[in-house]
Amino acid sequence: MSAGKKTELLEELKAHCVNCRACGLESTRTNVVFGKGDPDSDIMFIGEAPGEKEDLSGLPFVGAAGKLLDKYLGFIGLETDDVYIANVIKCRPPKNRDPLPEEEEKCIDFLRRQVAIIDPKIIVCLGRIAAAKIIKSDFRITAEHGKWFKKGNYYITAVYHPAALLRDPRKKEDMLLDFKKIGEMLASLGGADASEAEDK
């Protein structure tokens, strides 16, 4: 599928998302935060839900956590425009609380359709909540960050949410190592048979 066609399909999906009233979060949001980046990217990052600055701007990861994410992308030679970034939940939960399970269930189909359109080679979950929804319900971010899982055509890993690093800078070294693995996986999938990558 061409990048132009992907953009067209994402815009159609976004229009449906903007009009969604399924979970009630539309009553407290400012903007739907649908996603941003290159729709033809080989790598997609998925967070849990928009925060205050994201809600105001309508774009994911634009606050302090987003700036930190930019730095880690730069470490593996990428910029924000080179990847696609979205969230499990498209509307900000009040006071930045964790998304409720019923909110995730009402919203997850938008994410599934985004993934299907973008069709990345790699999915990176940003934080425990996204990993629990996408990888497995009992995901333990402290023990399992940086490990690879294979689901369908996708190689999936999880890293600490950048906001967690702002609270605990000791995690930054782990994040750097995890991003190094992401860069290596991306290079291997671009230059070799994806089946050679190890499902750890």
The residues spanned by each domain of the chain are: 3-186
Which fold, 3-186?
A: Uracil-DNA Glycosylase, subunit E (3.40.470)
CA distance 166 to 100: 24
| 101-121: average pLDDT | 96
Tracing tokens 């693995």 back to the chain, one arrives at 181
pLDDT mean across residues, the chain: 93
What is the model's pLDDT at position 43?
97
Q: Is a pLDDT exceeding 60 seen at residue 4?
A: yes
Select from 69, 108, 61, 115 the least CA-distant residue to 89.
Answer: 108
The pTM is what?
0.92
**Residue 160 CA from chain centroid, whole number:** 12
| 143-154: average pLDDT | 96
What are the pLDDT digits (tens) for 180-198?
999 999 999 983 333 334 4
| 37-54: average pLDDT | 96
Confidence band for 3, pLDDT divided at 50, 70 and 90:
confident
